[in-house]
Structure 1
Amino acid sequence: EVRGAGTAFKVAASGGDAVRLARLYFLFGPPLLEGGDDRLKNHKLAEAVKLGAEGALNIRWEGLRQTKGGRVAADLTVSEGGVDVKYNVYLRGHDIVVQFNSTDRGRAELAARLLKLAGIDADVERVGGRGVWQVWATTNKLAAGHERLRGAIADIVRRAAESGWVDAGRAGRWLEKLEGGRVLKEGWPKYLVRLAEGALQVRYRSTDPEGIEREAQRLRDMGLEEGRHFAVKKPKGGREGYVSILREGLERAAWLSVHGEGDRQRLAAEFVGYILQRAGEEGDAVYKKAKEIVEEGRAVGSLRLADVKGKEVDVEGRRHVVSVIGGGAQSEEGKSGRTLLRITIAAEVDGVRGDYEIAFGRYGRNNAAKGFATARADAPGGREADAERFAALIKALTGKEPGIRRRSDGRIDIVCGEGHLEGFMRYAELADAIAKWLEETGRR
C-alpha cells in the first residue's frame, strides 16, 4: 500500500510482504540497514531482513575443478529474493578464499550484502587501477558464517580431499574450523588453550591479518598492554600469525573481571569465562592450571595488610598468632647494581611487636625472583625466635611457609620464592610496586 504525503511517500507492508520489502531495501535500496550513523539505520527493518533471510537464502555450489596453475576452485552461488550472485571458491595454501570480482561497483556491493546475509562480514575493495571491484573472505570469516554456507564450503573441501587435490591433514583442519565454528556465539574466536611443559598456553592463531589485529585491539580495549600482557605475531606469506596471552595477561584480565569498570570489566569477565570454558574442554589438568592463574589474578590487591588479625599458623611444628599493622614496598638499587624490591611489614607475632624487612632480587640463569632476610640477634628471644616469628608472618600473609636456612656462623636466613611474591600481591599496599618490579626486571 502506497500513501501519498505531499512530496514524500509512505509505503506500508505487513507479514510476508514486509519481509520481502525489507529484502528489496537491503539488496537494492538506500543503505538503511548499514552505516555508522544510527539515525539513518532502521533497526526494525534490519530485524525483518534477518528474519526473512533465515528461510529464503539459498546456497549451492558446483564445478569443482583444478585450474591450469593447479589451484583447486569451485563456484558458489548465493540466491535471495530472485537475485543470484556467483562467487569463486579457491583452496589455496593455508586458506579457503571466497571471492567476487566485477567492474560494476553496484554488483560488487550486492555481492557483499548477500554475504552479510549469510553471516560473513565482507567489504568491497578496489583492485589496483583497473577499475575492478573485489569482495573476498577467508577461512576464519567463513567459519563465522551461517550453517548452510559453512556446510557448502565443507562439501567442497571434502570432495577436493577425496579427489586427492588437497592434503588430508590440511583438509581436516579446515573442516574442524568450518564444522565446529571458529567463532563463538559470544563473538570470541577459538583460542588454543593447553599445557606446554607444565605452563599454560593461551593463543589465537590465524592467517587473517585483520583477525589478528581485531583480537589484539579487543585485548587493548579490555585494558591489557601489548608486550606486557600479550604478544602479537602478524601473519606473513600465508603462514599463521598469533595473539598469545601471557600469564600476566590472564592474571590481569582476571583482576579486571572483578575490579574493572564498565566495558573493561564486561569484556574481561567474558574473556576469562571463555578461557576457563576452553580449558575445561581440554581436560582437568588444563582447567586446574587456568583456574589457579585466574584465582591468583582475581586476588591481586583484593586485601589490606591490616585484614590479617589474630591469624594462627604453624611453623616447624609450633603454633604462632599473627596480627599485621601495616607495610609497603618499593624498588631500589642494591650494592651490586641489581634492582631490588624491598618489602617492609609492621606486625605483632605472639605478642611481640616488630618491623620486618625482606629484599627480593633476580638470580640465576632463569632470572628467578628470590627474597632474603636475616633474623636479628638483638630481637626478643634471639635469632631463632625472630626467625620463627618472621616465617610465621610470611606464612600468614602468603599461605606459604618460607625456608629457614641456618648458617655455620650462627646467622639465620629467611628465604622466599616467587610463590611468596604472588601471595604478597594480594595486598593493595604491595601489589602495584611488585607488579612494576616484575615488569622492570623480567617476566616470571
Structure 2
Amino acid sequence: MSQPPIAAIILAAGQGTRMKSDRHKVLHPIAGHPMLHHLLTSVDRLHPAEKVVVVGAGREQVEASLAGRGASIAVQAEQLGTGHAVQQAEEALQEFSGDVLILYGDVPLVTEATMQRMLDRLNAPDAPVAVVLGFRPADAAAYGRIVADADGGIARMVEFKDATPEERAVTLCNSGLLAVRAADLFALLARVGNDNAAGEYYLPDIIMLAASDGRKSAVIEADASEVAGVNSRAELAAVEAEWQRRRRAEAMAAGVTLAAPETVWFAHDTVLGRDVTIAPHVVFGPGVHIADNVTIHAFSHIEGATVESGAEVGPYARLRPGAVLREKSKVGNFVEVKKSELGVGAKANHLTYLGDATVGAGANIGAGTITCNYDGYFKYRTEIGEGAFVGSNSALVAPVKIGNGAIVGAGSVITRDVETDALALGRGAQEAKSGWARRFRDMMKSKKAG
C-alpha cells in the first residue's frame, strides 16, 4: 500500500532569548549550516508535498534564509503555545490531504529514518490517530510525560507543570514531534483549550482529546540525542558535538582513517574519498572535496577547497576558498593557499603564501615565497609554469608570469615576467668589507667602557 502524501510543519516562532543573540535561534549554525536547514534537508529526503515554517519574532531573518527552499511561511504573531503555533499553518494546508509531520526548528538532528518510522506507525493496520516521538533522557527534568501500554498505545500524556508526582516518575518523555493525519489535526486543534498552569494551547492535548472520542494514539521511541533541542549556547555546543560524533563515525565506516576522531571537525557538506588519512586537530569549513588516498596532517584548516587523489596537506596548512590541489601535489607546514591551483606533483613545502596563482605541474615553491597579489585596491594573478623552481624567500609581484622550467634565485623580488628556462635574480649585489665587523666591535666596546 502506498504512503499518503506528506506535509511538514516546522515550528520556528520562539524568541530564543536564552541564546543572547541578534541572530534568530534556528539560524545558529551546526557544522557551518543553520540548524533549521539541517532539519529541512532531512525532511526533503522524504519528498514532502508541502513544507510550512511557522515564524514569529525575528521572522525576517528566517524568511530570508528560506529563499529557494520551497517552504511556505505562516506567522504566529502571539506566543500562545505549540497548539496555537501549529494552527497558524492551517491556511497553507487547507487543500492538503495526507500525513503531517510536526517538527521543531531548534531540534535539528532528527533523521529522515525516524520521521519515516513515525509515518509508518501512523499507517499501520491499527491506524492510530497520531504518533508521538518519545525518548528517555538521563534527566527527565521538566519534559512532558507519556504513560503508555506495552504495545506503545498512549494511555495518558501530561505536561510536567500539570503532572502528579506519580506521572513525573515516568521516564518516557514527549519530544513534541508527532505525525498525524491532516484530516484529524486541525479539527482536534480547534477543540484544544488553555485551562492549564501556563495558560497555553498545548499541541499534545490533541492526543487526549482523541482518546476521549475513543480513538487511540501511539508512541515510538528515539534516542535522546536525536531529539536534543537548542535553547542556549551550551545546548548548541552539545548538539554540534553530537552532529560531529555521527559524522566521524560515518566517515570511518566509509573508509576514512581518523587518528584522533574527537579532534577532527567536519562541515555539513564535507566530501571525503576512500583511504583518506586525517591526523589530529584538522578543521573543515564548508565546501571541501577530498579525493581518495589524500593525507591531511595535523592542525590544518581547509575551507572551500578541492584536494585530488594522492595529494598531501600540512601539518599547519591553511587551504582557503578556491584552493585546488591536483594529484600528488603537496602543501606543507605553514603554507596558505587562496584561490590558487597547484598542478600535478607541484610542491609548496614551507612557510609560503599562494594567492590568486596558478602553479604548473612539478613546480617547486621554496620556503618563504609569497605571491604579492594585492595592491590595496585590486587583486592580480601569478602564473608559475611547469617544472619551475622558485627559490626561498622570494616575492612574486603580480601580475607576473614565471615560464616553464624557469628558476628564480633565492631572495628575489620578481616584478617582470620570466621566460621559459631562464634564471631570474632580483636582489641587491652582495658586498663584503674586510675587517669591518672587528673594527665595529672594538669601537662599540670602547664607547661602552667610557
Give the TM-score range, shorter chain.
under 0.3
Bigger helix share: 1
Q: Which has the higher contact order (CA 8 A, sep 6+)?
A: 2
TM-score (norm 1): 0.26
TM-score (norm 2): 0.25
Bigger strand share: 1
